[in-house]
């Protein structure tokens, strides 16, 4: 599936700025990602389909490692995980952040070193803790007081498990209320303001089978400013100083979580990784010096910023309808493969691909095929006025929190994932079939 290079024009900035860096324009309105034509992918793998640019994922991992060489960078698996992703992240030297036995088992059985994995979650099932201990994860992040004795009891007399404490540093940040996790009044973490974080630290230090390696926080997601991280960091270092004063224990690690924002549409801002790295480094040095603490090892956990911009969703137009003053363009996917617009009201910038159109642009709303009026993929976007059934639409920045949140609604079946890299395409996850759905339905 290699593409002749003569007519390729680099995507560059402008309207393709949120597409993978490998994106090029091809003749007849087609586009290539990772050197592979999107129209060819649609023909070969059918639609809807998710395209994942391996080079973009790897490059994003490398950029993180280069920006913060002194830190541990963990990829947050919940953004999107499959075995190939596990391997790429491993080969690029990142760790992994998981939140269930499922993510953990997939990663370890795909060859990921368990000591580089951190398990977190506000409500860990016995199965999650059991898998973490059996497989030997590097850290478990304690999110509530009742977990401490449960984990210690599950460790067994011979073992010792490294843990961290999830702290809410009292910082509200993030792209939507549902993804702001840094303050009290939401379900995650333990607060230093009411003393519950300090209590958890004391209880862990009293458990010989647990080794407290540090504090953890994750203030939210889709954050585009550096400042909330620095405010949170000051609180975290302050709490580390309190731990030292109360217990004489200097914690060697500080995990500042993820949440790094990305642009979904041209012109939107993203978190500046260079500025974040510089800010974290400076603030950590100064806060620790002021508190008389040695600088702990920094850990960060980006998910969206690694996977999101590497993905492109491909849909086929099934119907175009004009009702009142609105034009609806309905495609063959929707809220079952991308619930984000419904959940958070996020906006995307879909594009017609695979055909050149000279028609003037008009405002249309791209909707899915599901039986809910709220099944909107992209409200009020500019598309060529002659978009018709059979056309192909591509939605960039589709790599994070889409397929990982996909559902079986309407028994449409979840789309396949196709990796593209240096001119070749490869099926990573096959399409969910009616047989898959039927095989779970075990009684008639
Ligand atoms: C979700 C999550 C992340 C990743 O968040 P992104 O917004 O995808 O970067 C990191 N750490 C924890 C604890 C999380 O819950």
Give the number of the atom of ligand 1 that is nearest the alpha carbon of residue 307. Answer: 8
Q: Which residue puts its alpha carbon closest to atom 15 of ligand 1?
A: 218
Mean pLDDT of 424-436: 98
Strands 31-33 and 24-25 come out as antiparallel
**Whole-number Cα distances in Å, 63 to 22, 245, 272, 305, 394:** 16, 37, 12, 11, 26
* Whether 419 contacts 398, CB under 8 Å: no
| pLDDT tens digits, 161-182 | 999 999 999 997 777 777 777 7
Which ranges in the chain are annotated with CATH 3.20.20.10? 54-305
Kindly tell me if the per-residue pLDDT of 431 is higher than 60.
Answer: yes
Q: Exposed e or buried b for every residue in 152-178, given b needs 16+ CB within 10 A?
A: bebbeeeeebbbbbbbbbbbebbbeee
Instruction: Identify the pLDDT of residue 6.
Output: 38
Whether domain 54-305 has CATH 3.20.20.10 = yes
> By C-alpha distance, which of 295, 210, 281 is closest to 251?
295
Distance 235 CA to ligand 1 centre (A): 19
Determine which one of 61, 82, 99, 371 is catalytic: 371
| Ligand 1 atom nearest residue 303's Cα | 8
Catalytic annotation present for 217: no
* pLDDT class of 11 with cuts at 50, 70, 90: very low
Check whether 301 is labelled as a binding-site residue.
Answer: yes
Instruction: Render pLDDT for 357-374 as a digit per residue (tens, 0 to 9).
Output: 999 999 999 999 999 989
Shortest-distance Cα residue to atom 7 of ligand 1:
259
Q: Is 285 annotated as a binding-site member?
A: no
Give mean pLDDT, residues 146-156: 95
Assign domain 11-52+308-439 one CATH number from 1.10.3720.10, 3.40.50.720, 2.40.37.10, 3.60.21.10: 2.40.37.10
Does residue 80 have a pLDDT over 80? yes
Q: Do 350 and 394 contact (CB within 8 A), yes or no?
A: yes
Tell me the pLDDT band of 13, cut-offs 50, 70 and 90.
low
Ligand-binding annotation for 304, yes or no, is yes
CA torsion sign, 51 to 64 to 95 to 226? negative
The string of pLDDT tens digits covering residues 278-296 is 999 999 999 999 999 999 9
Mean pLDDT value of segment 248-274: 97
Q: Which two tokens stand for residue 47?
A: 């639609």
DSSP 81-117: --HHHHHHHHHTT-EEEE-SHHHHHHHHHTT--GGGE
The closest-lying atom of ligand 1 relative to the alpha carbon of residue 302 is 9
Report the pLDDT averaged over residues 180-185: 76
CATH 2.40.37.10 segments of the chain: 11-52+308-439
Rounded percentage of the chain residues whose pLDDT exceeds 90: 91
Helices (H), 296-337: 304-307
Mean pLDDT estimate for the chain: 95
Nearest residue to 397 via CA among 307, 330, 333: 307
Q: Which helix (H) or strand (E) holds 63?
A: helix 54-67
Residues with CB under 6 A from ligand 1: 76, 78-79, 97, 120, 218, 221, 257-260, 301-305
Quickly state the pLDDT bin for 12 (edges 50, 70, 90): very low
């Amino acid at each position: 599936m290699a593409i002749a290079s003569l007519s390729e024009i680099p995507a560059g900035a402008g309207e393709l700025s949120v597409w993978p860096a490998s994106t090029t324009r091809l003749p007849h309105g087609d586009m290539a990602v990772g050197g592979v034509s999107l129209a060819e992918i649609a023909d070969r793998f059918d639609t809807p389909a998710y395209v994942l640019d391996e080079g973009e994922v790897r490059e994003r991992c490398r950029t993180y490692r280069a920006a913060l060489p002194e830190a541990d960078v963990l990829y947050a698996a919940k953004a999107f995980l499959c075995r190939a992703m596990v391997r790429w992240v491993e080969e690029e030297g990142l760790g992994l952040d998981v939140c269930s036995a499922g993510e953990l088992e997939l990663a370890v059985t795909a060859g990921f070193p368990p000591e580089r994995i951190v398990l977190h979650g506000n409500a860990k099932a016995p199965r999650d803790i059991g898998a973490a201990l059996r497989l030997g994860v590097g850290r478990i992040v304690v999110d509530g007081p009742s977990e401490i004795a449960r984990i210690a009891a599950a460790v067994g007399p011979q073992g010792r498990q490294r843990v961290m404490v999830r702290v809410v540093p009292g910082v509200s940040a993030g792209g939507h209320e549902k993804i702001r996790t840094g303050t009290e009044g939401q379900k995650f973490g333990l607060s230093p303001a009411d003393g519950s974080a300090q209590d958890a630290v004391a209880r862990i230090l009293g458990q010989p089978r647990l080794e407290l390696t540090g504090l953890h926080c994750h203030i939210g997601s889709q954050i585009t400013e550096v400042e909330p991280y620095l405010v949170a960091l000051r609180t975290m270092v302050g709490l580390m100083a309190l731990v030292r004063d109360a217990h004489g224990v200097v914690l060697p690690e500080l995990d500042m979580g993820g949440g790094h924002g990305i642009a979904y549409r041209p012109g939107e801002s993203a978190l500046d990784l260079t500025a974040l790295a510089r800010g974290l480094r400076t603030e950590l040095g100064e806060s620790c010096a002021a508190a008389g603490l040695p600088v702990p090892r920094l850990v960060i956990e980006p998910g969206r910023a690694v996977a999101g911009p590497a993905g492109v969703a491909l849909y086929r137009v099934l119907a175009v309808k004009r009702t009142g003053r609105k034009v609806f363009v309905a495609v063959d996917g929707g809220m079952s493969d991308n619930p984000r617009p419904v959940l958070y009201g996020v906006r995307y910038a879909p594009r017609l691909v695979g055909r050149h159109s000279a028609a003037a642009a008009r405002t249309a709303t791209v909707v899915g095929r599901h039986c809910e009026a709220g099944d909107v993929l992209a409200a009020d976007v500019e598309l060529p006025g002659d978009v018709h059934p059979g056309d192909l639409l591509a939605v960039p920045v589709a790599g994070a929190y889409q397929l990982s949140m996909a559902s079986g609604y309407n028994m449409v079946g979840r789309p396949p994932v196709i990796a593209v890299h240096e001119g070749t395409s490869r099926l990573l996850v096959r399409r969910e079939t009616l047989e898959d759905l039927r095989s779970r339905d075990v009684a008639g």
